[in-house]
Copies of this chain bind each other. A is one copy, B any other.
Amino acid sequence: MRVVSGTATSDSAEVDGLDAIMASGGERLREWMARTEHHLRRVTAEAGAPLADHANATVVGGKRLRPLLVVLAAESAGGPPQTSAGAERLVRAAVAVELVHSATLVHDDIVDDALLRRGRPSVAALAGRQVAVATGDLLFSRAFAELALNDDVAQLRALSDASSALAEGELLQREDAYAAHVAVERYMRRCELKTAALFEAACRLGALTAVDASAALADALGVFARRIGLAFQMLDDVLDVSGPVERTGKPRGTDLLDGTVTLPFILARERDPELIAFDLPSLRGEDGPQTVQELCERITATGALDEARERALAVVAEAKAALPTILPDGRAALLGLVADAVVERDR
């Protein structure tokens, strides 16, 4: 049983650059994020007695990176219509994405037996896995209920596709547990499903609530966000091996200890033949936490972390390079800053 959750989608390290974005976005961006926060609390509070507490405990303390993507995509695409209904549609989309993300976290904690989530006791640890299963199911349901109010089937499709992808990614990860020979392509596919798909949905939803909404624009911003999400996950996996614990808030090698094989290990195996012989399932034993520290050192020594980082940066660069072709005149400048923030967190 682990003390701190370190699942693939945990935003475990600070995303420092978000403050810079909030500063650049000014009063208007702060207002959107405050409204999103308020609405998120209201949705969980409305759930009624036992649930409201668990649901609320779950959504509190997140970085709101995905809602931020929803809002920035909408603003890049001209912002929502200047009516109270238009504003509500944007806020609902932002809330729906965060609810799906939160649902995934609650369910991941059941799977991982994580005791802490977002710095607080996880629902699974606090109230048992029964309650955690139901709380996650409720958060999923409320996400779709909220988004249904937007009366836009394209938005609902974007969210349900992402939500299916999240579950498929989780299943792939479990299937690959302790499988040292996982190919890079398979790893990348898992990142797409577990992380990139919801980033994509966030930007799609934002674009679809905007006055300049078009399917083509939603597609293009979706591709941008998917790349950012992919890089986000790749860098998260580098941080799992590089640490240090003060930065990530969890011991090094937490994912490997769970049997989750990520890019640094895959690349290190190509460079250090002795790693091919390493018996991953042995990490399940009592000495696992000690052995995994040595494994992290060994991976680092191969230079695999630098290569993994470079690959992630290349993906971010590709995403940023496409922005001016999607939206001219720097209209997507703040989305560019999100790309920077994703990179920053690794520095």
Interface residues of A (CB under 8 A from B): 47-51, 54, 103-104, 107, 110-111, 128-131, 133-138, 140-142, 144-145, 148-149, 151-153, 156-157, 159-161, 163-164, 166-168, 170-172, 174-175
Residues of B within 8 A of A166 (CB): 137, 141
Residues of B within 8 A of A164 (CB): 47, 138, 141-142, 145
Residues of B within 8 A of A174 (CB): 50, 128, 130-131, 134
For residue A313, give the distance in angstroms from its CB to the closest CB of chain B.
30
Which residue of chain B lies nearest to A153 when distances are taken between CB atoms in the complex?
B151
Beyond the given A110-B130, A135-B167, A148-B153, could you list 7 further A-B residue pairs with CB under 8 A, ordered by the A residue number? Answer: A103-B137, A107-B134, A134-B171, A137-B140, A137-B167, A149-B157, A151-B153
Residues of B within 8 A of A50 (CB): 171-172, 174-175
Residues of B within 8 A of A156 (CB): 144, 148, 153, 156
For residue A5, give the distance in angstroms from its CB to the closest CB of chain B.
14
Residues of B within 8 A of A128 (CB): 174
Residues of B within 8 A of A104 (CB): 137
B129 touches A111 (CB 8 A): yes
Residues of B within 8 A of A149 (CB): 157
For residue A210, give the distance in angstroms from its CB to the closest CB of chain B.
19
CA distance A131 to B175 in the complex (A): 9
CA distance A346 to B34 in the complex (A): 54
Residues of B within 8 A of A167 (CB): 51, 134-135, 137-138, 141
Residues of B within 8 A of A151 (CB): 153
B144 touches A160 (CB 8 A): yes
